[in-house]
Structure 1
Amino acid sequence: MSETTGLRARKKARTRDAIADAAISLFLARGFEPVSVNEIAAAAEVSKPTLFRYFATKEDMVLHRFADHSGEAARVVRHREPGLAPLAALHRHFRAGLDRCEPVTGLNDHPEVLAFHRLVFDTPSLGVRLTQYLLDDEEALAAALGAGVAARLQAAQVLAVQRVLARTNWQRIVDGRSAREAHPEAVADAALAFEQLRSGWT
């Protein structure tokens, strides 16, 4: 990559992040539906056509924060160490996320993260769009696991388990527990869930 190309890519990434940050700030302050695209463009100091070059929908401006995790399960399986079973690698990866209190695991008590999750979970259109993200992840994981309906079923099961675990962890935090307090139970739940998957797969 040339220096010019690299600079252009970084500038685009900054613009994309600025738009998403402006949108999420407005959504958290006023709710998702009341905020217009024009208001977001003005807050991000870009034109409306520029905004739509980066994001096709308002929903994508929120779910942009999930982009770093897109295809993550498939990457874990493809890049696992020799001799490690796919399910063991996925469990280990999820457990590491719990230990780091990554927002994607639901085990994060930062107020902004809690507000962001509440926005996603309580906005129907965001839930629908998030489902499409999950379906894309499911396709990628199925391809990494193999071919045929067995791999597709396994991929669907893994992502369903991770979704339930994350939502359960988030609810614990909402109910007043800190991430540190909820961590042991979250780890135990993950162990139980992946063991049940392992029993079913074998």
Structure 2
Amino acid sequence: MTEELGLRARKKRQTAARIWQAAVDLCSERGFDHVSVAEIAEAAEVSKMTVFNYFGTKEGVIVGPLEEHAGDPARAVRERLPGESAVAAMRRQFLEQVGALDPSIGLSGDPRSLKVRQLINETPTLAHRMVIFHMRSVQLLTDALSEETDDALLARVAAAQLIGARNALITENHRRTLLGDTLDDIAKDCAESAERVFGQVENGLQGYPGNA
């Protein structure tokens, strides 16, 4: 049973990846607004309904893999070490992602990831979708902090600062990728920048929210 479930999960991941790859290639070539879901389905050799079942919307096909990481900051805070601050936990998680060259923080050698960033920059509906994604990330982190501190206002302030710092680092990774800088150089500089950026937030937030 376990082997069968593992096979199903692997096939689902492969199907999702095939749909995403087909969508990114077609939309990069012709523009997001000029490609239909039916055309994406045909290129991926699946039904139109399968595309919707996996991603919900055409926008979701492009940015869905990124949106899976909306809860990363909240998870870092919820699972942080005893006595570790929220800033320290998010910095540690981010540096681990840098070390793993995680595509979700803008570190990827896959040309399609670069195409996705270009599509987001060029397509208002995708850019709007990413704004919603960032708002979702802030809300999830706010929830995690407010549950612990019982102060929703300060939790939202802290979440906005922490997500803002994280997003600034990711934006810089995307910017340098678009400029053609090497992945190794970007990752090295990102790790150094993360120490400074989260350090600046930490100076303002001190040890908030206290001991876990």
What TM-score bracket applies, with the shorter chain setting the length? 0.7 to 0.9
Q: Secondary structure at the match of 1:81?
A: coil
Q: Secondary structure at the match of 1:196?
A: helix
Gap runs ≥5 in structure 1: none
Q: Secondary structure at the match of 1:69?
A: coil
* Corresponding residue for residue 94 of structure 1: 94
Relative to structure 1, the CA distance from residue 110 to residue 7 in structure 2 (aligned partners, 3 Å threshold; closer, same or farther) is closer
CA distances 1:100-138 after superposition (whole Å, capped 9, x unpaired): 222222234543332222222332211111111221121
* Corresponding residue for residue 165 of structure 2: 161
Relative to structure 1, the CA distance from residue 145 to residue 20 in structure 2 (aligned partners, 3 Å threshold; closer, same or farther) is same
Inter-partner Cα distance in structure 2 for 1:149 and 1:173? 36
- Kept after mapping to 1: 8 A contact 2:21/2:112: no
Inter-partner Cα distance in structure 2 for 1:107 and 1:9? 25
Relative to structure 1, the CA distance from residue 113 to residue 48 in structure 2 (aligned partners, 3 Å threshold; closer, same or farther) is closer
Residue 57 (structure 1) shift: 1.6
- Kept after mapping to 2: 8 A contact 1:103/1:113: yes
From 180, 188, 191, the equivalent of 2:192 is 188
The aligned amino acid for 1:190 is A
* Corresponding residue for residue 27 of structure 1: 27
Q: Secondary structure at the match of 2:195?
A: helix
TM-score by length of structure 1 reads 0.86
Residue 7 (structure 1) shift: 6.0
Matches within 5 A, 1:98-177: 98-146=98-146, 147-177=151-181
Q: Secondary structure at the match of 1:33?
A: helix
- Kept after mapping to 2: 8 A contact 1:109/1:173: no
Instruction: Report whether the alignment pairs 1:57 with 2:61.
Output: no
Residue 4 (structure 1) shift: 6.8
- Kept after mapping to 1: 8 A contact 2:106/2:174: yes
Inter-partner Cα distance in structure 2 for 1:82 and 1:185? 29
Residue 10 (structure 1) shift: 5.3
Gap runs ≥5 in structure 2: 207-212
Identity of aligned residues (%): 37
CA RMSD of aligned residues (A): 2.4
Inter-partner Cα distance in structure 2 for 1:191 and 1:152? 23
From 183, 194, 204, the equivalent of 1:179 is 183
CA distances 1:35-90 after superposition (whole Å, capped 9, x unpaired): 11121121223332333233332110011211441311111111112121111010
TM-score by length of structure 2 reads 0.82
Instruction: Report whether the alignment pairs 1:36 with 2:36.
Output: yes
- Kept after mapping to 2: 8 A contact 1:108/1:170: no
Matches within 5 A, 1:63-78: 63-78=63-78
Residue 184 (structure 1) shift: 3.6
Q: What is the count of residue pairs matched by the alignment?
A: 202
The aligned amino acid for 1:47 is S
The aligned amino acid for 2:116 is F
Relative to structure 1, the CA distance from residue 84 to residue 35 in structure 2 (aligned partners, 3 Å threshold; closer, same or farther) is same
Q: Secondary structure at the match of 2:32?
A: coil
CA distances 1:140-164 after superposition (whole Å, capped 9, x unpaired): 1111112411111111211121111
Inter-partner Cα distance in structure 1 for 2:152 and 2:98? 31
